[in-house]
Amino acid sequence: MLLKDKVAIITGGAKGIGRGMALKFAEEGCTVAIADIAIKEAEEAVDEIKKKGGNGIAIKCDVTSGQQVGDAVDKVVKKYGKIDILVNNAGAIAAHVPIEDLTEESWDKVLALNLKSDFLFCKYVVPHMKKKKYGKIINLSSIGAVQPPAHEIHYNTAKAGVIGFTTDLANALAPLNINVNCILPGPIRTSFYDHNIGSMTEEDKDKFFTRLGKKVPMQRVGTPEDMAGAALFLASELSAYITGQALYVAGGLPLLPPAPPPSSLAK
Ligand code: NAP
C-alpha cells in the first residue's frame, strides 16, 4: 500500500475529482478527512470508504473562511494526531463574463474559492507538517491557467496564481522534507460543468463531453480516476524528489489535438 498509516485532508472531496482522490487514497491505506460544504455527499463518500474497509471523516467546511479552515485542521489533528497529506482541491468555475461586466464581488468570490483557500489551508496545516518534518501538499490548478478560454479571467487568474503559490511554498518548505506540487487538469467529467449543462438530459451530457473530448489530443475528457492516479503519485514516496512542479493531467493538453497532415491543407 502506497499510503499506509498516512492521514490526508482533501478539500472538496465530496464530489468529482476530490471524491475520486479520497477513494483512491483510502484504498492505499490512508485515513481521509473530507472538508467540503456539501456535507451530505461528503458523509456518503466517507461511508463508501468505510464499507470498503477504509477510514475517514467528513467535516463541513467553507474553504474560504479562515475560521472554518482553522477549526477543520484542529479537528483532524485532535482526532488523528497528524496531517501527512493536504490536497487543496475545492474550487469552481464561474460564468463567462467580459471584463467590463465582471463585478468586484464576483472577482473576490472566485479568487477566494480558487486561490485564497489554498493559502488558508497551508497556513494552518504547514505548522503540523513542520513539526513532523514530513508533508505532501497538492494544489489543484487548471489547464485554464496556461491555455485560458476567453472571459473566465477571474477563474484563470486564480488558477495561474495557484502555480505561483505552489512554486514559492515548495521552495520555502523543501529543506523540511515537505513537497509542494500542483496539478493542472484538462476537462474532467464532473459536476464542475453543471453551470453550463446541469439541466441537460444524460444523453445530451454524453454528447457534450464527447464534443469536448475532441478538443483534447487523446480525444476524450478525463475521469476522476485519471486524476486520482496522478494525485496518488504526488502524495506517495514515488515522488519523493519532486517539488515545485506543475503536472498536466490533461490528455496531452496544452498540445493541440492532432492536426491534419500539411498536404491535406494544401488542397
Ligand atoms: P466538482 O465536481 O464541482 O467538486 C467540487 C467540490 O468542491 C464540490 O463538492 C463542491 O461543493 C465543493 N466546494 C465548492 N465550494 C466550496 C467551498 N467554498 N468550500 C468547500 N467546498 C466547496 O468539481 P471538480 O471538477 O471535482 O473540481 C475539483 C478541482 O479541479 C477544482 O479546483 C477545479 O477548479 C479543478 N479543475 C476541474 C476541471 C474539470 O474539468 N472538472 C478542470 C480544471 C480544473 P458544491 O458542489 O456543493 O458547490
149: how many CB neighbours lie within 10 A of its CB?
Answer: 11
> What are the two backbone dihedrals, phi and then psi, of residue 251, each rounded to the nearest 5 degrees?
60, 25
Residue list, ligand 1 pocket, CB within 6 Å: 12, 14-18, 36-38, 61-64, 89-92, 113, 140, 142, 185, 187-188, 190-192
Q: Tens of pLDDT along 148-202?
A: 888 899 999 999 999 999 999 999 999 999 999 999 999 999 999 988 888 999 9
Shortest-distance Cα residue to atom 2 of ligand 1: 16
Q: Tens of pLDDT along 51-92?
A: 999 999 999 999 999 999 999 999 999 999 999 999 999 999
Specify the pTM.
0.97
Whole-angstrom distance, CA of residue 25 vs CA of residue 40: 20
Shortest-distance Cα residue to atom 31 of ligand 1: 91
Question: Where is average pLDDT lowest: 65-74, 115-124, 215-224, 256-265?
Answer: 256-265
Whole-angstrom distance, CA of residue 183 vs CA of residue 246: 6
Pocket test for ligand 1, best of 17, 114, 216 (most atoms within 8 A of CB): 17
Interior angle at CA 231, CA 227 and CA 236, nearest 5: 150
**pLDDT confidence of residue 5:** 97
Identify the CATH homologous superfamily for domain 7-188+223-250. Answer: NAD(P)-binding Rossmann-like Domain (3.40.50.720)
Q: Give me the residue spans of the domains in the chain.
A: 7-188+223-250, 193-222
Whole-angstrom distance, CA of residue 9 vs CA of residue 2: 16
Can you say whether the dihedral through the CA atoms of 244, 82, 24, 44 is positive or negative? negative
First to last CA, the chain: 56
The C-alpha cell 483512491 sits at 24
Whole-angstrom distance, CA of residue 177 vs CA of residue 209: 40
Question: Where is average pLDDT lowest: 179-193, 224-238, 253-267?
Answer: 253-267
**pLDDT confidence of residue 126:** 98
Q: Which candidate in 80, 155, 193, 241 is catalytic?
A: 155
Query: Is 155 one of the catalytic residues?
Result: yes
Residue 267 binned pLDDT confidence (cut-offs 50, 70, 90): low
**pLDDT confidence of residue 150:** 83
Residue 21 binned pLDDT confidence (cut-offs 50, 70, 90): very high
Which DSSP category does 257 fall into? Answer: P
**pLDDT confidence of residue 87:** 99
